[in-house]
Amino acid sequence: MNNITLIVKPHSEAAKPLAEQIYTLLKEKGKNILLEKRAAGVLNLPENSAKEIKEKSELIIVLGGDGTLISAIRLVEDKDIPILGINLGRLGFLTETKVEEAIQVIENIIEDNFRCEQRMKLNGKIVNGEAEFSMDVLNDIVIHKGALARIIEMDVFIDNMFVNTYRADGLIIATPTGSTAYSLAAGGPIVIPTMNSILITPICPHSLTHRPVVVPDNSEIKIIIKSEDEKIFITFDGQIGKKLEKNDEIIIKKSKNYARLIIPKNRNYYSLLREKLHWGDK
């Protein structure tokens, strides 16, 4: 790994000193460092273009929270690049490496002593007449209402088989990785992130019998908006949003692309759940 990209969440007290420390370490190791614009701003150095980062990166180091890491995954799109997340945020389900562990972990990576997990992504496509919009996500695709307290009516099909008409504040379609994000807060199950499945979780459904559903990862989910409300939106990983209209179709299926996350060797998923969700606390 010679070309290493650094992405830094600004406005964090720990960001600048840690970024400087990592930059110095990589320079000492003879690495070519690419700086995304936020990292360049923190370090007061020239930035590299998104195109250059996507084409040249062999490793991406992210200093920030889960949102920063998700934006890094979107930046490289379909490239199979390992990503290390160092947690400067609050929860840090994806950015698992702690600040105090960062330098040692990076040294281990340089020595090829690390492990990765391959995480599935979803592809969501909006079909509105002849217009289409498509995007991959690591966590979830969410259909939700605007400020007015009106429920959304949606017809849901799986593999062209009618499932249900949901009447709810919204609907979350999540990956196993995203099962501990918005879906969990809406009452969805925790799913081991390396499993092959897709979660469908309604948000505050009108009927109490509308429970979360887990389907195989080779399923194609089609959602048709039936409401005429002008305030219906879809968000991709909580970062990209689009307005929806009546009769819009949203087609969601497993993406052909994956994310590769570098995972600390000293942890397993159950220890992560205990630490982040405080399982077993009295």
Q: What's at 175, amino acid-wise?
A: T
Q: Say whether 169 counts as a known binding-site residue.
A: yes
Contact assessment for residue 6 and residue 53, using Cβ atoms and an 8 Å cutoff: no
Give the integer Cα–Cα distance in Å for 23 and 29: 10
Q: Is 260 annotated as a binding residue?
A: no
3-class SS at 231?
coil
For residue 201, the cross-strand partners are: 172
Q: Is 139 annotated as a binding residue?
A: yes
User: Is 66 part of the annotated catalytic residue set?
Assistant: yes
Q: Which helix (H) or strand (E) holds 20?
A: helix 15-28
Handedness of CA 18, 20, 25, 27 (dihedral sign): positive
**Do the annotations mark residue 239 as ligand-binding?**
yes
Is 67 marked within a binding site? yes
Is 160 annotated to bind a ligand? Reply is: no
DSSP assignment letter at 78: T
150 is in an annotated binding site: yes
CA distance 255 to 74: 13
Catalytic residue of the set 66, 136, 237, 248: 66
Task: Record the tokens describing residue 282, joined without a space.
Answer: 């009295």
Cβ–Cβ < 8 Å for 121, 259: yes
- Please give the annotated binding residues, written as ranges: 66-67, 139-140, 150, 167, 169, 239
Active site residues: 66
Annotated binding-site members for NAD(+): 66-67, 139-140, 150, 167, 169, 239
